[in-house]
Amino acid sequence: MKRFEITCAAVLINLFLGNAVVAGDETRTGRVSAPASISSRNSDALSAKNIAVRVRNDGEQITVEATFVVPILPEQAWAVLTDFDNIPNFNSGVISSRVTGRTGNRVWVSQKGATKYGFLTFSYDSKREIDLFPFSKIQERLTSGSMRKLEETTQLTLEGDQTRITYHAVFIPGTWIPPMVGNAFIKHEAREQFAELVNEMIRRNQVKIASREP
């Protein structure tokens, strides 16, 4: 079995790479409800259906946009999105992740990950420079890896007592992916990976609430 190697430079995009031919839209409600129990990736599917994902292809360059609402405050969502050292504990596509440097609100992160799609295995490694604007925006840029380009922005906006997360990324894959799997791969894995992050946010909030109960 041939192993296809790909790279992705960010937590929220680590499974988005597709062939340059693919492009698709997933229009959902953009609202995620809190699950009663979170124990496996199967439970993520409930949340994944409510995550709006849009993928555009301009030829060589691919743009990914996503938006969803989480029933927690921005500070709580921020804690998960920036927990770089512990990402492997709640993101099934990440094998290792560590902060390699930090200066003020600028962080450097190194990651390795892998996922399977059918009989194919996709893996990546990346080094990123991340600028943090607590608790509203995260900007990331690829500094090294097999991708040719990656620039992304994640924004957090308070909506009542909930948080809307808006994600935008532009990237150029460094390795070809079979067209027959590209479109389905992006649509499925993008929603699943976002759902894992959402579920971790909700899980931590539930633990916090439970700890306050008498």
Domains of the chain, residue spans: 4-212
Topology of domain 4-212 in CATH is Alpha-D-Glucose-1,6-Bisphosphate; Chain A, domain 4 (3.30.530)
> What pLDDT, on a 0 to 100 scale, did the predictor assign at position 5?
34
> What pLDDT, on a 0 to 100 scale, did the predictor assign at position 80?
98
> What pLDDT, on a 0 to 100 scale, did the predictor assign at position 21?
31
> What pLDDT, on a 0 to 100 scale, did the predictor assign at position 40?
41
* Count of positions (residues) in the chain: 214
- Report yes or no: 8 and 17 within 8 Å, Cβ to Cβ: yes
Dist. CA 28–CA 49, nearest whole Å: 7
Dist. CA 16–CA 159, nearest whole Å: 27
3-state secondary structure of 187: helix
Question: Angle of helix 74-81 relative to helix 179-212, nearest 10 degrees?
Answer: 120
| Cis amide prior to 68 (ω within 30 degrees) | no
Nearest to 114 by CA among 92, 90, 97, 98: 92
Encode the chain (214 residues) as per-residue pLDDT tens digits.
433 333 333 334 444 443 333 334 444 445 554 444 434 444 444 456 689 988 877 767 778 899 999 999 999 999 999 999 999 999 988 999 999 999 999 999 999 888 776 666 677 789 999 999 999 999 999 999 878 898 999 999 999 999 999 999 888 877 665 545 565 676 677 788 899 999 999 999 999 999 987 7
With a CB cutoff of 8 Å and minimum separation 6, the contacts of 121 are 1, 3, 4, 114, 115
Residue 42 Cα to chain centre, angstroms: 17
